[in-house]
Amino acid sequence: MTVLASAVVAVGTVSGVVSASSGETERTTAVPEVTRSPVMPPLPAVPSPSATTASPTPTATATATKKPVAKKPPKQKQPPRQQSAPVSGSLYLHPDSQVLDWVRANRGDPRRALIQSRIAAQPAAVWFAEYNPSTIASKVRAVTSGAAAAGRVPVVVPYAIPERDCGGASQGGAPDFDAYDGWIRNFASGLGKGDVIVILEPDSMAQTDCLDDSQRANRFAALSRAGKAVHAANPNARVYFDAGHSGWHAPEKMAGQLRQANVATSGDGIFTNVSNFHRTADEVAYARQVLAAVGGPSSLGAVIDTSRNGNGAPAAGEWCDPEGRALGRPPTTRTGESRIDAYLWVKLPGESDGCKGAAGSFTPDYAMDLATG
C-alpha cells in the first residue's frame, strides 16, 4: 500500500501510489518528483500544562505554627468534544490543478471535451505536501476563502507528518514532531470558520510497520494533537483519520491504532481507499467494520476515495497506472449510506503513478483510459 498519487494543485506536489494487494506487508511506491525536506530548526513545541512542583522538604528550623498548604480541588474531567455535524453542502472545485491547466492549454485536442466534462469539472481535494511553516497558513486560506466565497465545501489534505512514507518515494515532511505541531497549527489557522473536510495525513496510520512501538506512539500522539488543533481553529471542520483500505489491514487492527490516536475525541471519523482502486461497496462495508471496532461515538463517520475505483482493484501487485481501471462515483456529500459522510476524489484521476507518465504528472492518455473505462 502506498499513499498519494499527487498533489491536486501546486501547493506542494508529491507522488506515490496505492498497491491493490491484499497483503499487509507488500507495498510499492512510484518514483517521486520531490526530495526530502531540508532539516530545519524545530519550531517551539505545543505548550503543555506545567507539572505540579513538589513542596520543598521542611528544614529543621520549621515550626509547628506554619500554615499547612491548602490542597487543590480535584481536576474536573473534561466533557467529550462535541462532534462536528457532517457537511451537506456542495463540494468545492479549486480553479488551479494540472488537469485544468491541460484543458486550458489544449483547446484543439480531441480528448479535451471528455476530460473536461468527466474529470476537470469534478471537485477534488487540494493537497498541502510541503513543509513550509511560514507560508502554509496563507496557502490554505487561499483555498478555504475561495470556497467560502463560492458557498462550497473544500477538501484539504495536510501531508507533512515526520518520516512520511517511511523514507520511501514520497518521503519528506516535517523534520520532527515539534516542527510538525507548529506546521499543523499554522495549517489550521488558514481554515477559516466555514465547513471544511480535512483528510489528515494519508497512510499515517496504516503505514507504520517501519516504525517501532515508541515511534508509533509518538506519531499517534501527534495526529491526536493535529485533530485537536484543527478543531480549535475551526469547530466546523470535519477531520478524518487514515484507515487504509479494505485490502490492507484487518478492521480490528486499524481500530486499535485509531483508538491510540484518540479518533473519538480528536477526529470526526475515518477515510479509506485514498489513491486506491477498491470498489465502493467493499469500502463501505470495511469502513463500517472499522467504526464498529473503534466502539463509538456513533457520530463518527467515514469518507471514501472513489476517484479510480469504478472497476475495482486490479490483480495483486499491479499498482502503477494499471490497465482496465475506471472513474468511480462522482464526489458528493449525499451518499445515501449510513455513517458514510462523503464520496471524494482525493486522488485526481489522470495524474500518473509513474508508468503512463512521469510520476505525479497529469497524463491525458491515462485520463482518457479512466474516463472511458
Please indicate whether residue 321 is annotated as part of the active site.
no
Partnered with residue 326 across adjacent β-strands are 309
Of 295, 229, 283, 227, whose CA–CA distance to 259 is shortest? 295
Catalytic residue (one of 165, 176, 181, 305):
165
One of 181, 203, 341, 369 is an active-site residue; which one? 203
190 and 54 Cβ atoms separated by less than 8 Å: no
Tell which residue, 367, 368, 326, 328, has the closest CA to residue 350.
367
Amino acid code (one letter) for 310: G
Contact 371, 115 (CB under 8 A): yes
- Is residue 341 flagged as an active site residue? no
Q: Give the C-alpha separation, 210 to 216, whole Å.
A: 9
Please say if 353 is a catalytic residue: yes
Catalytic residue among 195, 305, 321, 353: 353
Which residues does 255 contact at the CB level (< 8 Å), separation at least 6? 290, 291, 293, 294, 295
Distance between CA atoms of residues 173 and 175, nearest Å? 6
Active site residues: 165, 203, 353
